[in-house]
């Protein structure tokens, strides 16, 4: 049967600034990886072999840039489909000469399915995925049972899954889904304390001003 994914995002047609456009055109070759239906080889990506973190959706890239900048002992493969954010992350990363970050401008689930080897990733970050509030849209949520199985298969034993959301029903659904799995274990019960490894995002700041409580959910494989 042909694989037909359910899209978990809406592709926003944001306008590229001049700086973002130049970053993609001039420096994109240093950071962008083309989507292909073939497995990535780590030695083709980074200068040094070290643990790999995979991020699904990075918005405008500010938090992702800080994480990669502050953790030079980790390599980052990050995915998003929105050109302004891609351009901005390239601009930020190039300005700081980061060599531990690569961007795949494609659907993250397809990247995981076709390009990432099993037991390859030390961590997966999913920060503020679209909660798809309406019940009829719940099937489009990124974190569901099928996608969790895919993500878990790509983590090494002891690897970390870190999900942040400001939508309580979604957070509770994610927590329950994790609890039903023998190969995932929650490693925190204080879901409202932001860990040091995750910088505050612009989206998060806006949500907190609106009174939204943020949930940080961390689990380990094994």
In angstroms, rounded to a whole number, what is the distance separating the alpha carbons of residues 170 and 11? Answer: 21
Query: Predicted confidence band at 208 (pLDDT cuts at 50, 70, 90)?
Result: confident
**pTM to 2 decimal places:** 0.91
**Residue 59 C-alpha from the chain's centroid:** 10
Closest C-alpha to 73, from 46, 91, 41, 96: 46
Q: What ranges do the domains of the chain cover?
A: 55-212
Query: In this predicted structure, what is the pLDDT of residue 209?
Result: 81
Would you state the structure tokens that stand for residue 156, as one six-digit string? 């090494």
Handedness of CA 123, 151, 186, 206 (dihedral sign): positive
In angstroms, rounded to a whole number, what is the distance separating the alpha carbons of residues 91 and 74? Answer: 20
**Do the beta carbons of residue 143 and residue 171 sit within 8 Å?**
no
In angstroms, rounded to a whole number, what is the distance separating the alpha carbons of residues 152 and 184? Answer: 8
For 196-202, what is the mean pLDDT? 89
Query: Predicted confidence band at 1 (pLDDT cuts at 50, 70, 90)?
Result: very low
Say yes or no to pLDDT of 8 above 60: no
Q: Which residues are catalytic?
A: 130
* Per-residue pLDDT tens digits for 20-29: 999 999 999 9
13-22, 62-71, 122-131, 161-170: least confidently modelled range: 13-22
In angstroms, rounded to a whole number, what is the distance separating the alpha carbons of residues 79 and 60? Answer: 12
Closest C-alpha to 61, from 78, 49, 42: 78
DSSP of 126-160, one letter per residue?
EES-----SGGGGGG-SSSHHHHHHHHHHEEEEEE
The helix or strand, by DSSP H or E, that contains position 47, with its residue range, turns out to be none
Say yes or no to pLDDT of 214 above 70: yes
Query: In this predicted structure, what is the pLDDT of residue 206?
Result: 77
For 137-161, what is the mean pLDDT? 90
Query: Predicted confidence band at 218 (pLDDT cuts at 50, 70, 90)?
Result: very high
* Per-residue pLDDT tens digits for 41-99: 877 789 899 999 999 999 999 999 999 999 999 999 999 999 999 999 999 999 999 99
Name the CATH superfamily, with its identifier, for domain 55-212. Vaccinia Virus protein VP39 (3.40.50.150)
Query: In this predicted structure, what is the pLDDT of residue 15?
Result: 87
């Amino acid at each position: 049967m042909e694989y037909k994914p359910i899209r978990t995002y809406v592709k926003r047609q944001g306008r590229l600034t001049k700086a973002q456009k130049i970053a993609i055109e001039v420096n994109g070759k240093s950071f962008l990886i083309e989507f292909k239906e073939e497995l990535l080889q780590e030695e083709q990506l980074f200068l040094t072999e070290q643990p790999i973190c995979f991020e699904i959706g990075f918005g405008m890239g500010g938090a992702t840039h800080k994480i990669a900048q502050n953790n030079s002992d980790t390599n980052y493969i990050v995915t998003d489909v929105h050109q302004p954010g891609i351009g901005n992350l390239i601009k930020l990363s190039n300005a700081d000469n980061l060599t531990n970050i690569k961007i795949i401008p494609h659907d993250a689930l397809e990247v995981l399915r076709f390009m990432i080897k099993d037991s390859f990733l030390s961590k997966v970050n999913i920060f503020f995925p679209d909660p798809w509030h309406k019940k009829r849209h719940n099937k489009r949520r990124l974190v569901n049972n099928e996608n969790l199985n895919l993500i878990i298969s790509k983590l090494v034993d002891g690897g970390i899954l870190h999900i942040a959301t400001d939508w309580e029903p979604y957070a509770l659904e994610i927590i329950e889904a994790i609890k039903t799995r023998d190969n995932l274990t929650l490693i925190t019960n204080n879901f409202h304390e932001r860990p040091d490894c995750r910088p505050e995002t612009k989206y998060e700041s806006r949500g907190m001003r609106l009174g939204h409580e943020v949930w940080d959910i961390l689990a380990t494989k094994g």
